[in-house]
Amino acid sequence: QQQVKQSPQSLIVQKGGISIINCAYENTAFDYFPWYQQFPGKGPALLIAIRPDVSEKKEGRFTISFNKSAKQFSLHIMDSQPGDSATYFCALSYSGAGSYQLTFGKGTKLSVIP
């Protein structure tokens, strides 16, 4: 099974600061590298995703940086806000043999303090 390692496990950032979460993976046969956001009591929701042929993708305050040779990708949250406080999961998206599945990291609990 594909493995993805996510760090840090938890992160405390002041309002207006930059939150950075990193993920590293072991294999290369993936379709997308998505990031999911999960609030307590809710299911995960897609935040932003990048294809393996792109090195960076920005959507508003959220940016994914992808380093294919290093097998690493990261999420940057600019101007972090208290409403960004949630658990963030990186994932590997795989389509093969007629199926589709995500392999998730263990998550990063982000707390943005005023």
Binding of residue 111 to other proteins (CB under 8 A): no
CA 110 – CA 40 distance, rounded (Å):
12
Q: How many residues does the chain have?
A: 114
Query: Binding other proteins by CB under 8 A: which of 64, 107, 110, 112?
Result: 107
CB-nearer residue toward other proteins: 20 or 49? 49
Binding of residue 7 to other proteins (CB under 8 A): no
Residues 25-64 that bind other proteins (CB under 8 A): 31-32, 34, 41-46, 49
Q: Are 10 and 106 in contact (CB under 8 A)?
A: no
Which two tokens mark 73?
């990708």
Q: What are the angstrom distances between the C-alpha of 111 and each of 18, 37, 83, 84, 104? A: 12, 13, 9, 8, 20
Q: Residue 15 Cβ, how far from other proteins at the closest point, in Å? A: 26
Residues within the interface to other proteins (CB under 8 A): 1, 6, 31-32, 34, 41-46, 49, 89, 91, 93, 95, 97-107
